[in-house]
């Protein structure tokens, strides 16, 4: 990382000016001015690296982890294994961190996790009312809406209303549990396995599982006839 803060800002301005020029020439934008936040983060990063406080290689490794190694695909693998293997599911529900580590997902912010199971008459929804605690090893970083004040407050005050806004209408006979995550304990929803998936392989099952279903704001949709296989 050789970029100085001034150098970066100059380059950003030049790129932005070029983008405007390009837009005039071709009728569409090529480059947008980085947001204030992006510029601030970049400036801070440059400074920390320049002063030798942060090792750029360590920073690259961290970014690589969150871009490529940690994310909801990990959680989808855990869910698919639980659907396919009853003994794994039992281990997952009784000791989530250990069962999740069996699949190799052991990064930080997941030392204490609880997996809660959805069924025909039970639905679980996860929120962090205080901030944005989230099970990183299995879901990666939380989406913007999870961190938003309206979701954090309304998921508790009016969970059925929130679910309806996500497109999920729960029957009156379905018991709804809302779990408030903390830095000490984070939750992962084990969604209900949809019908029509009886003959699917674990890979095919994992492909069906969405992040939203593992937070509890959606169900895993049944596979389309003729699709997904
Ligand atoms: Fe939090």
Long-range contacts made by residues 209-214, C-beta under 8 angstroms, separation at least 24? 209/72, 209/75, 209/76, 209/79, 209/80, 210/72, 210/76, 211/72, 211/75, 211/139, 211/143, 212/166, 213/189, 214/72, 214/75, 214/76, 214/79, 214/138, 214/139, 214/188, 214/189, 214/190
Considering the candidates 35, 87, 131, 195, report the single residue annotated as catalytic: 131
CA 123 to ligand 1 center in whole angstroms: 21
CA 110 to ligand 1 center in whole angstroms: 13
131 as an active site residue: the answer is: yes
168 pLDDT band (50/70/90 cuts)? Answer: very high
CA 183 to ligand 1 center in whole angstroms: 6
Does 4 or 81 have the greater pLDDT score? Answer: 81
94 as an active site residue: the answer is: no
Q: How much is the pLDDT for 188?
A: 97
Beta strands 113-117 and 175-180, pairing class: unpaired
1 neighbors 56 (Cβ within 8 angstroms): yes
pTM, rounded to two decimals: 0.75
Residue range 111-157, pLDDT digits in tens: 799 999 999 999 999 999 999 999 999 999 899 999 999 999 999 99
CA 31 to ligand 1 center in whole angstroms: 34
CA atoms of 115 and 152, how far apart (whole Å): 20
87 as an active site residue: the answer is: no
Domains by residue range for the chain, with CATH: 5-54 (no CATH), 71-215 (3.90.330.10)
């Amino acid at each position: 990382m050789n970029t100085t803060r001034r150098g970066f800002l100059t380059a950003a301005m030049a790129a932005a000016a070029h983008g405007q020029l390009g837009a005039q020439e071709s009728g569409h934008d090529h480059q947008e001015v980085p947001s204030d936040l992006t510029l601030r983060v970049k400036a801070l990063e440059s400074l920390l690296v320049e002063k030798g406080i942060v090792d750029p290689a360590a920073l690259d490794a961290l970014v690589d982890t969150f871009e490529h190694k940690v994310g909801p695909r990990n959680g989808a693998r855990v869910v698919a294994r639980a659907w396919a293997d009853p003994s794994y599911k039992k281990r997952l529900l009784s000791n989530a961190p250990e069962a999740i580590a069996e699949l190799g997902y052991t990064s930080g912010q997941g030392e204490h996790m609880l997996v809660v199971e959805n069924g025909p008459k039970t639905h679980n929804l996860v929120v962090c009312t205080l901030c944005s605690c989230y099970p990183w090893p299995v879901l990666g970083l939380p989406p913007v809406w999870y961190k938003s004040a309206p979701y954090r407050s309304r998921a508790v005050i009016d969970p059925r209303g929130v679910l309806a806004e996500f497109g999920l209408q729960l029957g009156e006979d379905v018991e709804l549990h809302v779990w408030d995550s903390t830095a000490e304990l984070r939750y992962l929803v084990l969604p209900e396995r949809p019908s029509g998936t009886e003959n699917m392989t674990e890979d095919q099952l994992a492909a069906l599982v969405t992040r939203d279903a593992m937070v509890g704001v959606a169900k895993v949709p049944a596979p389309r006839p003729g699709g997904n296989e």
